[in-house]
Amino acid sequence: METNRGSWGSKTAFILVAAGSAVGLGNIWRFPYQAGINGGAAFVLIYIVAAFVLGLTVFLAEAAIGRATGKNPVCALRALKPNTRWHWFGAMGVVICTMVLSYYGVIAGWTLGYAAKAVGGEFSRPMDQQLVAKMFTDFASNPGLMLLLFFAFILITVLVVSRGVQGGIEKLAKMLMPLLFLLLVLMVLRAVTLEGSSKGLAFYLNPDFSKLNAAAVMSAISQAFFSTSVGVGIMLTYGSYLRRSNRLVSCGMWIIGLDTLVAVIAGLIIFPTLFTVPGMTPAQGPELVFVVLPVVFSKIPLGALFGAMFFLLVVIAALTSTISLLEVGVSYLVDYRQWTRRKATWLLGGLVALLGIPSVLSQGGSKFFSRLPVIGMSFLDTMDKIFGAYGYTFGALFIAVFVGFVWKPKAAIAEIEQEGYRFRLKKVWAFTLRWIATPLILVMLVSSFF
Ligand code: PFF
């Protein structure tokens, strides 16, 4: 059944690829803003607790399934619970990842376009917010250019994934992740040495516990799941290429730790820089990265270089995430359908390119997709709501229920404790999975409907 599967070269390789999946657009544009409006350091604290308690708990459950079976999400669940329907949830993970890739790749394409703009010196002349906002609208509503950038991003993703687990994904992560950290450090140094940067630091980090209401705590939890990439079969698939000698607990601590570190550092770059330019206010999502920051880059010393580094960083973060999204479906086609990796990657990549077209056109390129009838949102936002927000939370709930109550913590612990490793907190982990993570995610899912 299993041909051409491959495995990671080392534990470090696994940590880098999995951290590469986790570190993405969510860390750079979503986390800092969420922290800024939800009580600064107080939110950061809650986030860290959520990432390490819930994110790590579900990560261990998911990676244990992957390593125990050495299979993609569908075959893994079928192997653990044969003759049941549980593997349908594995198929759901494959679908969610493919659908998420079809719109995440569109935004990733924008970052590629902006990296090219930045390197080409477009942000070296003084600009105001109106001009940059117009530049972004013109850019995003240009269907030809948008399609080109999206296809280019998917093509790069396909080229890496088709080269295999070790020869493609691992090799790239080993090159890019250290570069990402280097860029981060250089940029923090630039940001905090700007005159007036302390105002931004105060906005970002002043602990304001009065803002920590139930909604803020929920935001921290859902951000923790999205940001750590757990719940949709990515860590299961990546875990399936692990060797028994690689300790899941320490891998998990590293992955969650690096992801959290990048998120916190991204805030240390964005806000100190932003607040040095009078009149700039923090925004969320596309606006922050594509409208607010270019203005700032055009006004600060060495801004053009800083801007080019920033967009390069975002491209790297996005690419290591799109790779993980494509790999889930590819591993399914290779294991289950017995396709060669090449065929699986090109065909699935082609499908994603088609599925992404409505998202590409939904930023002004087509009136219909920019504001869907009845729903009233753009196609891209709708995809994000269905597959990003609900899909993710539902996936995390499924993993917690499956490992907590069906496969059972005991079996997962036996997998975690392979090769003589002693998991000291196993009782705490099993309890957290069953009685903290499961009900909390359920509450989140239900409350998000209202
Ligand atoms: N975790 C990535 C981020 O924070 O941007 C994004 C991501 C990767 C989302 C993989 C979904 C996914 F399946």
Quote the pLDDT of residue 230.
Answer: 95
Tell me which residue has its CA closest to atom 11 in ligand 1: 229
Q: 10 Å Cβ neighbour count for 27?
A: 27
- State how far the Cα of 441 lies from the Cα of 450, in Å rounded to an integer: 15
Q: Of 425, 390, 404, 426, which is closest to residue 92 (Cα–Cα)?
A: 390
Q: Of 383, 386, 328, 319, which is closest to residue 93 (Cα–Cα)?
A: 328
15 φ, ψ to 5°? -60, -45
Q: What is the DSSP letter of 436?
A: I
Residue 192 resides in a domain? yes
**Which strand (E) or helix (H) includes residue 370?**
helix 367-370
CA dihedral for 334, 338, 340, 342, sign (positive or negative): negative
* 25 CB within 6 A, ligand 1: yes
Residue 143 resides in a domain? yes
| Angle, helix 214-228 to helix 248-274, in steps of 10 degrees | 120
Phi-psi region of 279 (alpha: psi -120 to 50; beta: other; left: phi over 0): left
Q: What is the gyration radius of the CA atoms in the chain, in angstroms?
A: 21
* 234 CB within 6 A, ligand 1: yes
Instruction: Give the domain range for residue 325.
Output: 11-448
- State how far the Cα of 72 lies from the Cα of 329, in Å rounded to an integer: 8
| Tally of CA atoms within 13 A in the half-sphere of 25 that contains its CB | 25
Residue 3 resides in a domain? no
CA of 160 to the centre of ligand 1 (A): 18
Residue 245 resides in a domain? yes
CATH number at residue 24: 1.20.1740.10
* 222 CB within 6 A, ligand 1: no
pTM of the model: 0.94
CA dihedral for 174, 118, 277, 223, sign (positive or negative): negative
CA of 78 to the centre of ligand 1 (A): 26
* 235 CB within 6 A, ligand 1: no
CA of 229 to the centre of ligand 1 (A): 5
- State how far the Cα of 327 lies from the Cα of 97, in Å rounded to an integer: 9
Structure-block tokens of residue 354: 């088609």
**Mutate which of 227, 255, 383 to test ligand 1's pocket (most atoms within 8 Å of Cβ)?**
227
- List, in order, residues 6 or more apart from 332 with CB less than 8 Å away: 72, 73, 74, 75, 94
- State how far the Cα of 222 lies from the Cα of 390, in Å rounded to an integer: 10
3-class SS of residue 364: coil
Quote the pLDDT of residue 29.
Answer: 79
* 326 CB within 6 A, ligand 1: no
Residue 6 resides in a domain? no
What atom in ligand 1 is closest to the CA of residue 27?
4
- State how far the Cα of 52 lies from the Cα of 431, in Å rounded to an integer: 15
Structure-block tokens of residue 329: 């479906």
Question: What are 392-435's pLDDT values in tens digits?
Answer: 889 999 999 999 999 999 999 999 999 999 999 999 999 999 99
| Tally of CA atoms within 13 A in the half-sphere of 89 that contains its CB | 24
Residue 5 resides in a domain? no
What atom in ligand 1 is closest to the CA of residue 318?
5
- State how far the Cα of 288 lies from the Cα of 282, in Å rounded to an integer: 7
Residue 405 resides in a domain? yes
Q: Of 197, 195, 185, 201, which is closest to residue 267 (Cα–Cα)?
A: 201
- List, in order, residues 6 or more apart from 448 with CB less than 8 Å away: 222, 389, 390, 393
Residue 380 resides in a domain? yes
- State how far the Cα of 49 lies from the Cα of 191, in Å rounded to an integer: 27
**pLDDT per position in the chain (450 positions), as tens?**
444 588 999 999 999 999 999 999 999 878 988 888 888 889 999 999 999 999 999 999 999 999 999 999 999 999 999 999 999 999 999 999 999 999 999 999 999 999 999 999 888 888 888 888 899 999 999 999 999 999 999 999 999 999 999 999 999 999 999 999 999 999 999 889 988 899 889 888 888 888 888 888 888 888 898 899 999 999 999 999 999 999 999 999 999 999 999 999 999 999 888 888 887 777 777 778 888 888 888 888 888 898 999 999 999 999 999 999 999 999 999 999 999 999 999 999 999 999 999 999 999 899 999 999 999 999 999 999 899 888 988 999 999 999 999 999 999 999 999 999 999 999 999 999 999 999 999 998 888 777
Q: Please, are residues 247 and 11 in contact by the beta-carbon 8 Å criterion?
A: yes
* 232 CB within 6 A, ligand 1: yes
* 227 CB within 6 A, ligand 1: yes
- State how far the Cα of 318 lies from the Cα of 244, in Å rounded to an integer: 29
| Tally of CA atoms within 13 A in the half-sphere of 377 that contains its CB | 10
CA of 19 to the centre of ligand 1 (A): 10
Count of domains observed in the chain: 1
Question: What are 92-120's pLDDT values in tens digits?
Answer: 999 999 999 999 999 999 999 999 999 99
- State how far the Cα of 402 lies from the Cα of 398, in Å rounded to an integer: 6
